[in-house]
Structure 1
């Protein structure tokens, strides 16, 4: 593999930001795929924070054994304020050169991709793998972790629905996603929620929530599911 006329021999891989289901599988694929094609692969612990600190070790095929079925990320993850500065980025690049890293592969969400952008602007080669339950990375149909998060939320709502029906209640379920409503919207559609509130659409509480629930009650319905994205209304 070559980039900008430079031969790639050593690959660094890290996970950054919030952990997402499937990150370990992605790291495993990078490691074993890299080894198969003759590259050396180095694990960078605790994301970009570990990159500028030099928390880096070479990985073998055995290093990723039994990691496929585990949640979280065995490389661990962290958010780094120090890295988010020109000095931090430069120090990270210098540390990458100390370990002879030719390219960094990062698995994470929008913050991770901003970090990769900062490295790329300094002409350091990078590859980004979208890994976030928010599903908010442009040009990605589904990010790593999104499907698992959606199914987990669905399972929880299925259980809550029984209680809502038994007590004739309205259950309000907040799901993650920050400023992106993909998770809430698709969970709401899949579970048949009466109301879904997402950040991308301004909600008039009286018109879009109260009126809808009253219409349901007038038609004989006595339990309701409302799904709210965590960034809705902010």
Structure 2
């Protein structure tokens, strides 16, 4: 393989890439564009990341469509009056925070015409970017792995669903020796030493993930 580096991406890298590209400056690029668009890097994702990314994009797309409908139906109300918890739409706590702090704070000062225009573009572009990343920019997507012993060993760490990301990353490392896992502002970065201690207690001292922030790669 002629590529200089092989990396495994956490969901946060894919989402940062999407939001750095979408209109409205929702999120600044935190190193994801440089990595994802670099043809000299062999880029992979595990099954947990693949499914999580797809589900998040689908939820956000439906939320943007719902917000667009609400804006059109309520021309005299402020965008801050939109309450996702009162809408007949699926959302996660992260989605709620995203709408409150990224969307409503980001667009609260804009005229309704621009809000409508930008949300039409958001709805259209997020699906396009999701497809482009998976089909054109990621070199390989692995199936989701299962390792109940390791997952249990990681259980006392405050990394929530990222336990499954770690399990996938370990199996990818064992299968194809891709040991770099890249994330952005993620609990797995700040818990990297403790994570590797747990991994080595199950898999042996020779197996270690290099967990890095995107800006540091």
TM over 0.5, shorter chain: no
| TM-score normalised to structure 1 length | 0.28
Structure with higher strand content = 1
Structure with higher helix content = 2
Q: Which of 1 and 2 has greater Rg?
A: 1
